[in-house]
Structure 1
Amino acid sequence: MEYKEKYNLWVNSEFLDEDSKIELKKLQNEKEIEDRFYKDLEFGTGGLRGIIGVGTNRMNIYTVGKTTEGLSQYLINKYKSDISVSIAYDSRIMSKEFAEAAASTLCANGIKVYLFESLRPTPILSYTVRHLKSKAGIVITASHNPKEYNGYKVYGEDGGQVTDNNAKEIFSFIEGINDFDKVKTMNLEEAKQSGLLVIIGEEVDKEYIDRVKALTIRKELVDKCANDLKIIYTPIHGAGNIPVRRVLKELGYNNVTVVKEQEQPDGYFPTAAYPNPEDPKVFTIALDMAKKIEPDIIFGTDPDCDRIGIVVKDSSGEYRVLTGNQTGALLTHYILSSLKEKNKLPKNAAVIKTIVTTEMAADIAKEYGVNLIDVLTGFKYIGEKIGEFEKKGDQKYIFGFEESYGYLAGDFVRDKDAVIASMLICEMTLYYKSKGMSLYEALMNLYNKYGFYKETLVSLELKGKEGQEKIEKALQYLRHSMSYSLGEVKIVKKMDYKISVEKDLVNINEKIIQLPKSNVLKFIMEDDSCFVVRPSGTEPKMKVYLSVIGNSIKDSEEKMELFKKNVMEVIDEACNC
């Protein structure tokens, strides 16, 4: 069906509310109409994510309703009876309304819903699914995207985001919902009275918080010295404020200063146009406060509190925002070294990272005799591996992380968790402080020991239908037409995750990649630098990940500058082929 035909169906539908019809009728720009209706908002392994507005390619109560109706049919088909779904939402615009719309449709299908009384972090939802033995979970969030966005993440009964096969099956049911009148709804008050809708809160929070605190490694140090650590924390207008502060307070970290201007939940993110702890701008107010407070650590969590960014003071006294890879390497080393020191490191211990995450983690894991496992980009694949370990019993999950500021210790949550990470980051900082070291000095020690790894990410925004076509053309060019060298450096390995083949270009042989198929390409150079190219699963972007290893900070920076120049010349050629 052409986009204009879909537009007319919406404008003339008896099921569409008048305000939505007025919004559509006011549209004058044909490109805007096309972008809203040229496709349905895609349901992938990340669920839905898009700009809030009216249209098939937008987040609204109709796309949420259609998706939930499809999810309901999937659950009924799979489980037949005794089905429940847990739902949480963050501080974003329309998050509560979308959560209630999802609850209404699930209840209308006879599915019991556990809905949080107010906003909660994504990791608490992951925990709740398993804690309440739900068959699925939903979080209404667009994570760290700008205020215009919202999203709908779906979790399986294991507490992890649904992965490829299940997502495809759910999508097949969603595709079958062609008309608004197929979406069932139920009044929420009636749902409560019938027992189909249960409002949850503190009782679940307490269980979760107790599990988080139990992950403390150096309990004696924390009990004795937690109050010595000076902390500045910003929830960036999101869902992390209450649980993060509660965990720290109950462990004795009383010297915590919260950025007041960013403390209250606000989906408009008035102090951070891009509410992402990867962006140094979100720490502007915190850094101004640091001049007086002189904290040992500054950190911030994103709107749904699954990502965390930290700021440390370097050797010159300047504050630096650490990358996700740097924080992940620090945590990996701290956790493994601490467990080994206390004779608590299992013989079958495993650390998991994604294919675009720093290789320093592999060096650290090797030193401690720990298995390092690579998975595709997306924390859902780390969660999936934890489930596999649990079933087989052959490996013990210790820690997992991805370069995009997501970390997880423990196995009672199956998604990245900034509440857990904030606690461990404070403990790690406190430990190094007790040794007379800053976190920055600890990082320099890792570089001196394992090599000066430097990674960077380039995101190319390519909006609309034309942008999606350009991304696909570029990947095809890189897959089939680019030369096997960059400047004077040869490519020695090429991994094509779409066809699951790794090519050794030196020894001229191939092997199968034992991971799910994904439209991702990775190239490894003869000097151990590498780059990965993939389309974003949640934004209209093509992402290019680059990594080099140097002999010093300066050397790695110079190598990265040249490598980035050479890679981006090829990417530019691919985008314009």
Structure 2
Amino acid sequence: MISPATRTAVQEWLAHDPDPQSAAELADCSDDDLEDRFARPLTFGTAGLRGPLRAGPNGMNLAVVLRTTWAVAQVLKDRSLGGSPVVVGYDARHRSAEFGHATAEVFAAQGFSVTLIPTAVPTPAVAFAVRHTGAAAGVQITASHNPPSDNGYKVYFTGGMQIVPPTDRDIENAIAAAPHADEIARTPVAASGTELLRAYTERAAAVRRTAGTARIALTPMHGVGGEFALDTLALAGFDDVHVVGSQFAPDPDFPTVSFPNPEEPGAVDALLELAAGVGAEIAVALDPDADRCAVGVPTPSGWRMLTGDETGWLLGDYILSSCDPATAVVASTVVSSRMLASIAARYGARHVETLTGFKWLARADEGLDATLVYAYEEAIGHCVDPAAVRDKDGISAAVLACDLVVALRRQGRTVPDLLDDLARRHGVHTTTAVTRRVDSPDAAAAIMARLRAAPPARLAGYPVSVEDLQPRTDALVFGGGDEDTSIRVVMRPSGTEPKLKGYIEVRCAGELAPARARAATVQAELADALRGLG
């Protein structure tokens, strides 16, 4: 039975929802569904608002977009930024163009100077545009690699960086005070020209350090990155690119993959088949909004995809090899590998470890007398040109990865050769993640509380100590080992689903083959241990 409070909330929503389809949609909902949709509003998470396309405050819909944009405008005005330039973009998901135009219209009615990007674009192009133009804010309508039923609303403020607390809470408070959606003024906005998009592709192409081409296999995973990646690679001098035809055109239903994330099992099967068939030197998979980049390489035993950490080591080492380390900062997150810190130390550069998410990585050099030159997170997010894009950018990362392949080929070497060299210098590092599903977020919180009260003294046979990252974030870091092997485990609850995640890293010293065998064994033992923790 639906509660009286929810029934009132539904009636008020329908009275002011500008989308005429909402009434029919809500009329078909069960009582439980209505309680879920009206229990709470969407809130800002790691990368903005994200949720299922559905009517009600706990979904992505026109009313939520209008009220959120009104709220962002009020926060900007409260900071004396009224009338400033703002940039609005959108990807190719269901309703993205509609939401993007509505966002631009609300900003315009609030007196802002709006640049509405004229076509569906990669998310990093919006981050670039905000920074390049000096805009006060930017909004990208995207849900990145979420399922096709979702969409989202990502906010950048000055410098093209994602918002952080307390800005996100300020916007949420303003949403709560916003007028009804049908009372929010909208002013038509003409789309801009393509000059900013050209500037973005030219800048992304310019991350190259060498000359010459490579044979590349590419998939944009049914997203918006295909044409942008081809144009950028061509500008960078790569003219031998082969694409997965069935995944090249934007399609919001992502018909050839069960989940549109290059990290998911089976998602890159077609890419690797293409790469092997054309004799490619590198395979590149972009996620649907092209802010993430996964890299595959040929090995003596066949093609394989690199982990996000492996790509992070390679690109971090490549960038540091050609910059002034005395003024350079590289960054990775608390759940990413520690090898980048070791690489930075070897070059004499600074390494900063941040909380999870590019909203923190983008600010890694704040307060330092040095400049961020590279940042990455283990979930295939790489920022290779922070001066231009202070967010992850799959397209510029793809250019630099292809450039690295060319540079290595000139030396008679390959990506696996360089990974071996890094392992010899810094020790064999292996990483993996273990997901433990639970019944509810409360159950996850209860396990974390038990781990805090009685942390394990040993994991996989090694003595460990624990570091509690509260109040900065809800995570526990277990570390230990012996003179030949070190282990590190980060446990944290998911912010969006009822599950716990454990991020494992094992480092082993010594000859490569036995060190890798030992690391694999210890990693498997740690994974088993995590499944029973708490």
TM range (shorter): over 0.9
Equivalent in the alignment of 2:300 = 315
TM-score (norm 1): 0.86
The reply to whether residue 459 of structure 1 matches residue 461 of structure 2 is no
| Corresponding residue for residue 75 of structure 2 | 74
Moved over 4 A (4+): 538-541
- Over 3 Å counting, the alpha-carbon distance change for 1:469 and 1:33 in structure 2 is farther
Taking the aligned partners of 1:261 and 1:536, their CA distance within structure 2 comes to: 33
> Paired residue for 1:205?
197
Give the match for residue 474 of structure 1.
Answer: 447
Per-residue CA shift, 1:544-570, capped at 9, x if unaligned? 211112353222111111011112210
CA contact (8 A) 2:126 2:140 kept: yes
8 Å CA contact 2:124, 2:391 repeated in 1:
yes
User: CA deviation digits over 1:347-392, x for unaligned, max 9?
Assistant: 2211111111111111111111111111111011121234x26xx6
- Name the SS of the counterpart of 2:102 in structure 1: helix
1:150-549 equivalences in 2 (<5 Å): 150-177=151-178, 179-181=180-182, 183-188=183-188, 197-218=189-210, 222=211, 225-226=212-213, 229-316=214-301, 318-337=302-321, 339=322, 344-386=323-365, 388=366, 394-410=369-385, 411-461=387-437, 467-486=440-459, 488-492=461-465, 494-499=466-471, 517-527=472-482, 528-539=486-497, 541-549=499-507
Change (3 A) 1:244 1:158: same
The 5-angstrom pairing of residues 560-571 of structure 1 reads 560-570=523-533
Distance verdict in 2 for CA 1:435–1:568, change over 3 Å? same
Aligned counterparts of 1:140 and 1:475: Cα–Cα separation in 2: 34
- Partner of 1:353: helix, strand, or coil? strand
- Change in 2 beyond 3 A, CA 1:80/1:372: closer
Q: CA deviation at 1:346?
A: 4.1
The CA distance in 1 between the partners of 2:84 and 2:7, in whole Å, is 36
Describe the shift of the 1:135–1:541 C-alpha distance in structure 2 as closer, same or farther (beyond 3 A). Answer: farther
Amino acid at match of 2:89: A
The answer to whether the 8 Å contact 1:45/1:167 transfers is no
Code of the residue aligned with 1:164 in structure 2: it is: P
Maintained 8 Å contact 1:314/1:441: no
Q: CA deviation at 1:47?
A: 1.8
**Deviations 1:197-239, CA, capped at 9 Å, x for gaps:** 3522421122222222332223xxx1xx22xx11100011112
Structure 1 residue 50 displacement after superposition: 0.9
1:99 aligned partner: 100
**2:313 match: secondary structure:** helix
1:476 is paired with a residue whose SS is helix
Q: CA RMSD in A?
A: 2.1
Q: Is the contact between residue 107 and residue 185 of structure 1 (CA under 8 Å) also seen in structure 2?
A: no
CA distance in 2, matches of 1:495, 1:168: 28
Query: Percent same amino acid at aligned positions?
Result: 32
Which has the larger helix fraction?
Answer: 1
For the residues of structure 1 that align with 2:45 and 2:112, how far apart are their CA atoms?
A: 23
* Corresponding residue SS for 1:549: strand
Q: Which amino acid aligns with 1:237?
A: H
Instruction: Tell me if the contact between 2:144 and 2:289 (Cα under 8 Å) persists in the aligned partners.
Output: yes
Output the amino acid matched with 1:19.
Answer: Q
Whether the 8 Å CA contact 2:81–2:136 is kept in 1: the answer is: no
SS in 1 for 2:57: coil
Taking structure 2 as the reference length, the TM-score comes to: 0.93
Deviation at 1:4, TM superposition (A): 5.9
Distance in 2 (alpha carbons) for counterparts of 1:540 and 1:101: 33
Cα-to-partner distance string for 1:82-121 (whole Å, 9 max, x where unaligned): 3222111112111111112222222222222211111111
Q: Structure 1 residue 304: deviation in Å?
A: 0.9
- Structure 1 residues 324-346: Cα deviation after superposition (integer angstroms, max 9, x where no partner): 00111111112222x1xxxx424
Sort the Cα spacing of 1:487 and 1:250 in 2 relative to 1 into closer, same or farther, 3 A: closer
In structure 2, C-alpha distance between the alignment counterparts of 1:179 and 1:367, rounded to whole Å: 57
Any stretches of 5+ residues in structure 2 without a counterpart? Answer: 510-514
Amino acid at match of 2:5: E
In structure 2, the CA distance between the partners of 1:280 and 1:446, relative to structure 1 (3 Å rule), is: farther
Q: In structure 1, what residue type is equivalent to 2:152? A: G
Counterpart of 1:119? 120
Counterpart-to-counterpart distance in 2, 1:475 and 1:245: 46
**What amino acid maps onto 2:151 in structure 1?**
N
Deviation per CA, 1:15-64, whole angstroms, max 9, x where unpaired?
23442111112123x43333222211112452201111112211111122
What's the CA shift for 1:148? 1.4
Amino acid at match of 1:384: R
Q: Unmatched 5+ residue regions in structure 1?
A: 189-196, 500-516
**Structure 2: distance between partners of 1:270 and 1:368:** 45
**For the Cα contact (< 8 Å) 1:406–1:416, is it kept in 2?**
yes
